[in-house]
Amino acid sequence: MPFGTKKVYLPNFTLGLVRTSHLPPNYAQFIVPLNINKLDLKDYLLHAYNVEVLSVRSFIQQQNIKRAKDKDLSRPKIEWYRPRAIKKMTVELKEPFVYPPEPEDLSP
């Protein structure tokens, strides 16, 4: 089956667009779930926003080890854990992308 011809479906994941001032205008960066791959992101951007993607780079950023908050203060028990990793994907777009303006009024 050729790329971009599969049935349209409603995704059950959320993408976060990251404002990156260090990237050129034809690049955009997203925070995605760990189970999303490059082809999923490319297909999603094509079908949902009609945006053509030339290439995708991805990396997983491990979080620092943290100390768990102890609920019972009578016993000194220290528990350490590592929060869930964050997966970021940077896409190279065919057309330059301009970020929407930041909202000024943040009231509900």
* Domains located in the chain, CATH noted: 16-93 (3.30.70.330)
pLDDT score, position 97: 83
* pTM to 2 decimal places: 0.74
Q: Give the Cα separation of 2 and 18 in Å (integer).
A: 30
Q: CB-based contacts of 22: which residues, under 8 Å, 6+ apart?
A: none
Q: Where are the beta strands (DSSP E) in 23-67?
A: 27-32, 53-61, 66-67
Give the residues of the chain that fall short of pLDDT 70: 1-10, 70-78
